[in-house]
């Protein structure tokens, strides 16, 4: 199951899984774009079983409805890929700041509501897609202002939401291990990828990551298919362990083949992880893997 699978990294991840023979669920906010993605995938993998389901991670009711109608009793792989990078402060359907709500709270709620189906698979994996921005100076979890109410800056809100995502991944795997579960949580960051996530950003940034300039910008950007490689390694590498994190390993950390790399230091803090987990439970009303 791949969230945000109608384009970019999500589409390429889903395509590779379908080509490998997996039954794939494309969980997409826009059902029409999801149908187009399905057509593109089945063209690459004729005969592949690909299903499109509507899911809006910025709406807790949509997440609950999605989980409730899925016909699959077991899920081997959940890729928490969908995300946003808002140009200005906005709110989800439930009133959360859009970056924090979509990038962290949505995947948190979705994972909790699918956990029993993941446990039904023999060795399920939950792969959370992070970002290299979780290592920038602005990427710190301010528990007094997690939703940027005191002031909003695009890069800061996004970086903080992605640090929260990685912190969630580490805490999720810790709790799964403590519970004796065979399900494991891993993470990956795709590097600098030419995708639609930058559509709301300034013109210079959009130009820098325009596919038409790929030859000029290949030293710091790569295609969605190349960006998906780190996600696919986290999902499929037989030697990968719970808590592992993968990202580009070229001379520039934004490009190159995927390698195992350390998780951002704040995300490794179990006190921080437990505190963020509690906040996510309180805000979403979804509770699982209690300490």
pLDDT tens-digit series, residues 57-100: 999 999 999 999 999 999 999 999 998 888 889 999 999 999 99
Of the candidates 96, 100, 108, 158, the residue annotated as catalytic is 158
Please state, in angstroms and rounded to a whole number, the distance separating the CA atoms of residues 130 and 266: 14
Checking if the pLDDT of 45 tops 60, the result is: yes
Contact 57, 102 (CB under 8 A): yes
- pLDDT of the residue at 135: 87
Pairwise CA distance, residues 107 & 129, whole Å: 10
Per CATH, the number for 2-284 is 3.40.50.720
> CB of 157 within 8 A of CB of 148?
yes
Let me know: does 286 contact 109? Beta carbons within 8 Å. Answer: yes
What confidence score (pLDDT) does residue 176 get?
98
Yes or no: say if 127 and 77 are a contact pair by the CB < 8 Å rule. Answer: yes
pLDDT reading at 35 higher than 90: yes
The yes-or-no verdict on residue 147 having pLDDT over 50 is yes
Note the pLDDT of residue 104. Answer: 97
List pLDDT tens digits, range 179-236: 999 999 999 999 876 565 444 444 544 444 455 554 555 545 678 899 999 999 999 9
Domain residue spans in the chain?
2-284
Please say if the pLDDT value at position 5 is more than 50.
yes
Whole-number pLDDT of residue 204: 47
In the residue annotation, 288 being an active-site residue is answered as no
CA distances from 79 to 16, 228, 254 (A): 13, 11, 21
From the list 119, 195, 166, the residue with the least C-alpha distance to 269 is: 166
- With a pLDDT cut of 90, the percent of the chain lying above it is 76
- The rounded mean pLDDT for the chain is 90
Picking from 76-80, 236-240, 254-258, which range would have the lowest pLDDT averaged per residue? 254-258
- Nearest of 231, 223, 257 to residue 13 by alpha carbon: 231
């Amino acid at each position: 199951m791949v969230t945000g699978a109608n384009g970019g990294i999500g589409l390429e991840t889903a395509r590779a899984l379908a080509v490998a023979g997996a039954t794939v669920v494309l969980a997409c906010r826009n059902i029409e774009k999801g149908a187009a993605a399905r057509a593109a995938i089945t063209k690459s993998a004729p005969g592949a079983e690909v299903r499109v389901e509507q899911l809006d991670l910025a709406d807790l009711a949509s997440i609950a409805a999605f989980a409730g109608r899925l016909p699959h009793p077991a899920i081997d792989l959940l890729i928490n890929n969908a995300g946003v990078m808002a140009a200005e402060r906005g709110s989800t359907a439930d009133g959360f700041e859009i970056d924090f709500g979509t990038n962290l709270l949505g995947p948190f709620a979705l994972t909790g509501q699918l956990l029993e189906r993941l446990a039904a698979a023999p060795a399920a994996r939950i792969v959370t897609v992070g970002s290299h921005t979780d290592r920038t100076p602005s990427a710190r979890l301010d528990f007094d202002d997690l939703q940027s109410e005191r002031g909003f800056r695009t890069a800061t809100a996004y970086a903080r939401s992605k640090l929260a995502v990685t912190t969630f991944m580490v805490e999720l795997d810790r709790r799964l291990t403590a519970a004796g579960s065979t399900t494991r949580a891993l993470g990956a960051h795709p590097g600098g990828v030419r995708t639609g996530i930058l559509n709301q950003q300034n013109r210079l940034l959009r130009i820098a990551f325009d596919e038409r300039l790929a030859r000029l910008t290949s030293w710091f950007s790569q295609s969605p298919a190349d960006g998906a490689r780190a996600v696919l390694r986290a999902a499929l590498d037989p030697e990968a362990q719970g808590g592992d994190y993968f990202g580009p390993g070229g001379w520039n950390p934004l490009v190159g083949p995927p390698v195992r790399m350390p998780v951002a230091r704040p995300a490794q803090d179990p006190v921080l992880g437990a505190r963020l987990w509690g906040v996510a439970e309180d805000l979403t009303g979804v509770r699982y893997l209690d300490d």
